[in-house]
């Protein structure tokens, strides 16, 4: 007997960063949904009550782009196209799609022209989350334009008689406040679904799956101390018992201040000290993807060393990991997805173990907030569950490097800093310079940053200069590598920011607060610190959060007292177009 009910909603995967988030939002409504390939034959979807076409990084008019069976639109289930899904629907049904004059990334306001059906209960103007460059120029025959923005005339289309709808924005992300209402309208009122799913009931299913995958084998867990690996580790302990599950913690040298002691105290696992090996492997490496690959492969090497020196290979062991869905989707883990950045648990060595059936990942289909809920349900302490997310590669990916000396460039919008960071624009990876505003923090500056990064295509991130030991225009990007002293500098900066955030209560206002060290400054102070406080629910989208002027000043003063730190900057960029982490 299947542990799942029959799925009522199919989400067709066109490679979008939010594909599984759509399915998860439907499950949050109490309706079981599953993901299928975008080109699945329409005949195989006849039993579903509704179909949602996801977004994706491609352009519908390009050869080889993801497509769908045109018969889908006459197959019976109601259809909702989201972003690329709307464009694909128009493209396959005699409409037209073109590249927009400029992209829309982040918050936008729609004018809602249709007030019933899919849009019942929405206000005449709604704030929505956009991530696109292409747009529908002409809707298909029989469709009306249901919503518009200043940039995108066709922000939604509808043919209620055929139960076919499309939206250019993303109702599945938390930054579209009306999104839950819109999805509820589609799932219940248009598709006629009935509630059949309780996410909390998944715990028994996860533990059954662990037992099935493990069989007679034992599980070795390398625990990071973060929420994901800790919950996965505890689920394996519950499913298999402590005699079959062993945990270890690898101190790479890239940990936060006090991190190793916290993990050892909270989880009681063994500590493997590996700082020299990681520093040596990363000596001279600058490019972020290469850095991530090396960190991931070094993890595998350390893990192999631990396993081969113990008794673990005498029996039959498999490796447990706390991988969650954003790790796989951003690493290109679905058929059509773009690689945004490779996560350390998706490098070649790990993939080889997956192919060999030697990996157990209990949380690979879940998102961060779901993982926290699972952790609460199985009794993990809030001290661990309510921690801000911290990336597996640690401070190494928050310490940027450069191979050459580069000058600042003045522009009409601000200073172009030749430090590149990773972004995600239209579901695709970008790697571009940073734009600097040399102005005080304010809500107006945050709004201007959002508009500017959408308009200026050569950058994917905007930061504000809070002050420093040298003017912005006199600073330079300098040759710098990942070294012990620079890691220690960043670790001290991170500790200062965490302490002040905790004392002020700002820690409770944000979901995550990366502190980044960039190789930009003066000759005697070659580095600068970037503050990156964001609000999110699941890590798939995020909004930059402003702190008070008083807290920003306190942080600025204490950070500038660190030897080698020239300036303090503040990241004003949402995700998209920037990723949460800079690398």
Which of 82, 74, 6, 1 shows the shortest CA–CA distance to 38?
82
Q: Does residue 152 carry a catalytic annotation?
A: no
Residues 6+ apart with CB under 8 A from 388: 507, 510, 511, 512, 513
Catalytic residue among 83, 152, 178, 193: 83
Q: Does residue 558 carry a catalytic annotation?
A: no
Q: How many residues in the chain?
A: 583
Contact 366, 325 (CB under 8 A): yes
Buried b (16+ CB within 10 A) or exposed e, 423-436: bbbbbbbbebbbbb
Distances 219 to 322, 362, 534 between C-alpha atoms, Å: 13, 12, 35
- Helix axis angle for 259-267 and 227-240, nearest 10°, is 20
Which class for 244: exposed (0-12), middle (13-18), buried (19 or more C-beta within 10 A)?
A: middle
Catalytic residue among 104, 172, 259, 338: 172
Catalytic residue among 170, 175, 343, 465: 170
Residues 6+ apart with CB under 8 A from 536: 174, 511, 512, 542, 543, 575, 580
In angstroms, the CA 304 to CA 313 distance is 10
Specify the pairing of strand 565-571 against strand 461-468.
antiparallel
Q: Does residue 104 carry a catalytic annotation?
A: no
Token look-up 């662990």 returns 210
Token look-up 């030697």 returns 358
In angstroms, the CA 417 to CA 434 distance is 5
The DSSP bridge partners found for residue 437 are 464
How many CB atoms sit inside 10 A of residue 308's CB?
Answer: 9
Q: E strands within 113-207?
A: 125-138, 144-148, 156-159, 164-167
The DSSP bridge partners found for residue 166 are 81, 157
Catalytic residue IDs: 83, 170, 172
């Amino acid at each position: 007997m299947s542990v799942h009910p029959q799925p009522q909603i199919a989400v067709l995967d066109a490679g979008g960063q939010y594909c599984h988030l759509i399915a998860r939002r439907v499950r949050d409504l109490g309706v079981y949904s599953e993901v299928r390939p975008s080109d699945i034959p329409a005949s195989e979807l006849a039993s579903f009550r509704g179909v949602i076409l996801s977004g994706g990084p491609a352009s519908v008019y390009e050869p080889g782009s993801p497509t769908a069976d045109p018969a889908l639109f006459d197959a019976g289930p109601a259809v909702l196209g989201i972003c690329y899904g709307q464009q694909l629907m128009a493209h396959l049904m005699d409409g037209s799609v073109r590249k927009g004059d400029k992209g829309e990334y982040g918050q936008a306001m729609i004018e809602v022209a249709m007030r019933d059906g899919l849009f019942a209960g929405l206000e005449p103007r709604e704030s929505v989350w956009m991530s696109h460059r292409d747009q529908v120029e002409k809707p298909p025959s029989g469709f009306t334009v249901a919503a518009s923005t200043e940039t995108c005339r066709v922000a939604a289309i509808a043919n209620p008689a055929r139960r076919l709808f499309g939206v250019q924005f993303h109702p599945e992300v938390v930054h579209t406040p009306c999104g839950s209402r819109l999805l509820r309208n589609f799932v219940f009122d248009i598709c006629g679904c009935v509630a059949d799913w309780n996410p909390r009931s998944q715990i028994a299913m996860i533990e059954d799956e662990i037992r099935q995958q493990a069989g007679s084998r034992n599980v070795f867990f390398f625990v990071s101390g973060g929420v994901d690996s800790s919950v996965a580790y505890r689920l394996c302990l519950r499913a298999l018992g402590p005699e079959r599950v062993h945990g270890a913690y690898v101190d790479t040298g890239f940990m936060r201040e006090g991190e190793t002691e916290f993990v050892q105290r909270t989880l009681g696992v063994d500590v493997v000290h590996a700082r020299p090996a990681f520093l040596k492997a990363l000596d001279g490496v600058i490019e972020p993807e290469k850095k991530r690959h090396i960190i991931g492969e070094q993890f595998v090497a350390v893990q192999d060393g631990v396993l081969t020196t113990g008794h673990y290979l005498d029996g039959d062991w498999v490796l447990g990991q706390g991988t969650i869905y954003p790790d796989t989707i951003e690493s290109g883990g679905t058929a059509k997805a773009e690689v945004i950045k490779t996560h350390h648990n998706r490098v070649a060595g790990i993939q080889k173990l997956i192919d060999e059936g030697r990996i157990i990942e209990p949380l690979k289909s879940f998102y961060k907030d779901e993982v926290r809920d699972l952790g609460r349900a199985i009794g993990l302490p809030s001290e661990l569950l309510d921690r801000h997310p911290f990336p597996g590669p640690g401070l190494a990916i928050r310490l940027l490097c450069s191979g050459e000396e580069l000058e600042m460039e003045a522009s009409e919008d601000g200073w172009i800093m030749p430090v590149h960071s990773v972004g995600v624009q239209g579901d695709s990876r970008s790697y571009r310079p940073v734009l600097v505003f040399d102005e005080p923090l304010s809500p107006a500056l945050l709004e201007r940053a959002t508009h500017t990064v959408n308009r200026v295509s050569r950058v994917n991130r905007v930061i504000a200069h809070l002050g420093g030991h040298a003017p912005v225009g006199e600073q330079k990007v300098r040759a710098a590598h990942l070294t012990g002293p620079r890691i220690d500098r960043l670790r001290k900066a991170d500790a200062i920011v965490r302490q002040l955030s905790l004392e002020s209560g700002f820690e409770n206002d944000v979901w995550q607060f990366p502190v980044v060290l960039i190789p930009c400054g003066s000759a005697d102070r070659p580095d600068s610190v970037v503050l990156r406080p964001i609000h999110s629910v699941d890590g798939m989208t995020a909004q930059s959060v402003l702190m008070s002027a008083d807290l920003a000043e306190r942080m600025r003063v204490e950070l500038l007292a660190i030897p080698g730190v020239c300036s303090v900057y503040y990241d004003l960029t949402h995700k998209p177009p920037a990723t949460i982490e800079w690398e």
